[in-house]
Amino acid sequence: MSGTLKNHHANRQMEAWLNSLSGQITEALATGRQFAKRHPFAAIRKVLFYGMGGSAIGGDVLRAVMADRSGVLFSVYRQGRWSRWADEDTLVIFSSYSGNTWEMIDVFHKAARSRVRLLVVTSGGRLAEIAQAANVPCLKIPSGMPPRCALGYLTFSLLPVMEKVGGFKIPAGELKELLAVLQKAPKALAKRLAVKLKDRSIHLYTVSGFMEPAAARWRAEIAENAKMLASHHLLPEMFHNEIEGWQYPRWAVKRSAAVFLTDKEDAPVLRRKIRAAMQLIHKAGALAVEVPSKGKSRLARLFSLISVGDWTSYELALRNGADPVAIPAISAIKRVS
């Protein structure tokens, strides 16, 4: 296949996967509810979520939900080291879409020798095999897509388990609103943003708390889909250090963009500080843009930002002439043992 034709095919595939998010959520909730009935995981006080890359973002989302609705501690570990604090009150979740990520397999063996409770979410691979051999509950999700495109499956198949563990229930109305927000792809906004952000290095900022996962997701999607560097940092912390960095090298600042992912619950004082920071960044010769969340419930608003980021990264890939599906550098590093 010629380069252009190959990209055309990859573009169509990526669009289909991006459009599948709400369908994934509906399907995943049904799978998760059945699974949660069979595996109630009683008396859990801590959750330790292991995952890398696209399989870790679901952990960030669930951590935000748990912090919002329950007293259960929830940590996300993006690494292959075993944690000493996990004990018999801890549910350790291994999330790996392929099931072949070495960090997960390594830690799984250590976790299986400890007193923790275990749960695996994967589409198959080695992790599914070793979970089965060790009699560990395994939430199987459909295979055949890039892990980062399976965000709906990876997050929402676990939500019913988290509801049981945390003793809460997300109201049906909120889930309905979430699906409604995702029904309409934010293509026009994504195109406008991509036009502004093309040829710039991108720095994402969001207020610490529920919307945090959106900034991490934007950074990862921009790198993996558009093959562009992006960073993310949190507010108000950024006002205490990184804001000074918007000065040198001048040529780099002029070719950079600050994207503030904002939410209606951002405190008024933070909104004023965001405006001041945008002015400083603009004065330094960079681009400063704001992308506000949309929707009523926090979950819908978080996913409205995630969805704009996913589509913007795709639009940037188109403008860069990059294949939004292929991840040759990630694969090359994976082959290094």
Residues binding ligand F6R (CB under 6 A): 52-55, 96-98, 101, 146-148, 224, 327, 330
How many angstroms separate the CA atoms of 56 and 213, rounded?
Answer: 10
| Residue 280 DSSP SS3 | helix
How many angstroms separate the CA atoms of 37 and 319, rounded?
Answer: 46
Which secondary-structure segment (H or E) carries 59?
Answer: helix 57-69
Give the residue with the Cβ less far from ligand F6R, 60 or 224: 224
CB 55 → ligand F6R: shortest distance, Å?
3
CB 317 → ligand F6R: shortest distance, Å?
13
CB within 8 A of 95, min separation 6: which ones?
Answer: 49, 50, 51, 55, 56, 58, 59, 104, 120, 121, 122, 154, 158
How many angstroms separate the CA atoms of 303 and 214, rounded?
Answer: 8
Local structure of residue 134 (DSSP, 8 states)? T
Closest by CA to 136, choosing from 225, 35, 219, 229, is 35
CB 70 → ligand F6R: shortest distance, Å?
26
Measured from each CB, the residue nearest to ligand F6R is: 53
Give the residue with the Cβ less far from ligand F6R, 151 or 235: 151
Give the residue with the Cβ less far from ligand F6R, 97 or 246: 97
CB 182 → ligand F6R: shortest distance, Å?
19
Give the residue with the Cβ less far from ligand F6R, 72 or 119: 119
CB 129 → ligand F6R: shortest distance, Å?
14
Query: Is 119 in contact with 161 (CB distance < 8 Å)?
Result: yes
CB 124 → ligand F6R: shortest distance, Å?
10
Give the residue with the Cβ less far from ligand F6R, 170 or 327: 327
Give the residue with the Cβ less far from ligand F6R, 55 or 90: 55
